[in-house]
Amino acid sequence: MKILSVNAGSSSLKFQMYEMPEENVLISGVFERIGIENSFYTIKINGEKIQKNANLENHEVAVNILINELLDNNIINSLDEIKGVGHRIVHGGDKYSKSIVLNDEILKDISTLNELAPLHNPANISGVYAFMKQIPNAIQVGCFDTAFHQTIKEDRYRYAVPDEWYTKYGVRKYGFHGMSHKYVSEKVMELLDKDLANVIVCHLGNGGSISAIRDGRCIDTTMGFTPNAGIVMGSRSGDIDYGIIPYMMNKTNMSISDIDNALNKQSGMLGISSVSSDFRDIDAKIAEKHKPSILAHHLYVNSIVGYIAKYYVELGGVDAIAFTAGVGENAPHIRRMVVDRLSCLGIKIDREKNDEFRFGKEGIVSTPDSTAKVFVIPTDEEVVIARDTYSLI
């Protein structure tokens, strides 16, 4: 059965087509700069990447081109071969705790959550409508980034704010990167060959989040009402004292929109280093002994270690810690710095082995006598979407 996994952004559309249930990837790609000048797309098939320029006026045009590529490359002979299209939808609020078959009524309901994810949900939904129009016989499935975290109990997802803020306005912890945390935790359980285990997943990329997972169910996570909470990130501040906001507004005459932009796009590693939000650029400056970049690294590691320690206690000990996403998978020195700080818990890293794990390599990087296994697991959110879509069909 052929299943498409789709992630539609405001000006992009990523896709991957699977043969299910074998989970074989038949073709993948991304359409970029949709609705903007100089738009183009890239497809990868049989290990070869091909980039083409195209006038991508909107998502519907991108979907049309995608369909033509599927036909031209003999991935399908007719649209009827595509049985399902699974869509990443960032925010499902506290209503959608699992993936669901989409229709007009449900999409209208999901759109009421747009103000919780104004940059993402409208684009996700527009992608769904484009595929509904172009591939009407395929079942459309919504897979929510927030769903995996809906097992968190009220004493961990509520904030100590006026009750009406929660009951009337939905102010609570939602958590994000759910599909990544789900995939990685399930992979760790498989590699441990256990049905019951305490796992901490560190999804470390330009955005980053950490989750505490007991027996496959999330009990806590770092991101909150928005993705800006938790650890230091590429350009997001992570946790701060909220009193900074009115203070800076009074001192600088910044608007609340200016403050929001600064905390989301000008803070984190970029704000501390004044170099970049890209960890590779910061690493290059560290090699030159650039003090702000060195400081940024230490603040970053501190924030990760602090949450791992917290979740270690919440879980009552851990069987495994897993690193994933761009930084988690490809920055051995970050993994080493974090795990070295956990040595008081008996968790140890094999430095030689750790240095070997990059660019898609999966496995254990801890020493044999470590009290918890340390894994590097390349994440795969697309296959989670494909699995949920296949399951629902």
Q: Is 166 helix (H, G, I), strand (E, B) or coil?
A: helix
- 80, 94, 104, 145: the catalytic one is 145
Q: How far is Cα 302 from Cα 334, in angstroms, rounded to an integer?
A: 11
Active-site residue 380, yes or no? no
Q: How far is Cα 88 from Cα 200, in angstroms, rounded to an integer?
A: 23
Residue with structure tokens 């650029």? 281
Distance, first Cα to last Cα, the chain:
10
From the list 184, 204, 157, 185, the residue with the least C-alpha distance to 301 is 204
DSSP per-residue codes, 250-316: HHH---HHHHHHHHHHS-HHHHHHSS-S-HHHHHHHHHTT-HHHHHHHHHHHHHHHHHHHHHHHHHT
> Taking a C-beta distance cutoff of 8 angstroms, is the pair 147, 98 a contact?
yes
Q: How far is Cα 311 from Cα 3, in angstroms, rounded to an integer?
A: 36
Q: How far is Cα 365 from Cα 27, in angstroms, rounded to an integer?
A: 32
Q: What is the CA radius of gyration of the chain?
A: 21
Please state, in angstroms and as integers, the Cα–Cα distance from residue 32 to each residue in 11, 41, 88, 130, following that order: 6, 6, 17, 16
From the list 229, 235, 300, 232, the residue with the least C-alpha distance to 264 is 235
Contacts of residue 70, defined as CB under 8 A and 6 or more positions apart, other chains included, come to 17, 27, 76, 82
> 241: which DSSP letter?
-
Q: Do strands 320-324 and 373-376 pair parallel, antiparallel, or not at all (unpaired)?
A: parallel
Q: How far is Cα 220 from Cα 316, in angstroms, rounded to an integer?
A: 13
Residue with structure tokens 């909220």? 242
By annotation, the residues acting in catalysis are: 145
